[in-house]
Chains A and B, each alone.
Chain A
Amino acid sequence: EAGVAQSPRYKIIEKRQSVAFWCNPISGHATLYWYQQILGQGPKLLIQFQNNGVVDDSQLPKDRFSAERLKGVDSTLKIQPAKLEDSAVYLCASSSGTLGYTDTQYFGPGTRLTVL
């Protein structure tokens, strides 16, 4: 079974530029998550989708970050404009969405973003 796919793996941009990340979840998984992991910290949830609807985006900085999950499968996360403090690894995860709080989330390899 293929895992969660993410691209690109690495991205370097200058501040005020825009950037987009792509995620393809495990086939059949209804729930998709985007996390931000700053160096030396644990991942922090940015947004959670159930199929193509948003369940939780309370920690998403909506003035610069946006995310969508068209057709309930792939998802993109965009940052516009980027700030220095956005330098982090952006992780995508998916879960079946059938077991509630006991569901296991499977993580992709992440995209390492450096903002100069």
Chain B
Amino acid sequence: DAGVTQSPTHLIKTRGQHVTLRCSPISGHKSVSWYQQVLGQGPQFIFQYYEKEERGRGNFPDRFSARQFPNYSSELNVNALLLGDSALYLCASSPIQGFYGYTFGSGTRLTVV
């Protein structure tokens, strides 16, 4: 079975631009979450989606948005990029119930210049 796949793997954007990151969960996983990992820090929760609806949101500005599609894949959008948005953006999928933990993708490395 394929794991969580994310695209692109690397991305360089200019301040003020918009970016879209994509994620495909493990087959059968219906919940997708997004995390931001700044270099040298632990991942920080951004969003959780299930059945195309936002089910959880972390402490991030409204420039960050996401959506989930009927096939459970997801997009993370960031508007008006700032230098501080440079980070590894991780997507994780999980079954809904039970203590199974997440399976993370390898992430998208976003650099804002």
Same complex for A and B? Answer no
Give the interface of A toward B (CB within 8 A): none
Give the interface of B toward A (CB within 8 A): none
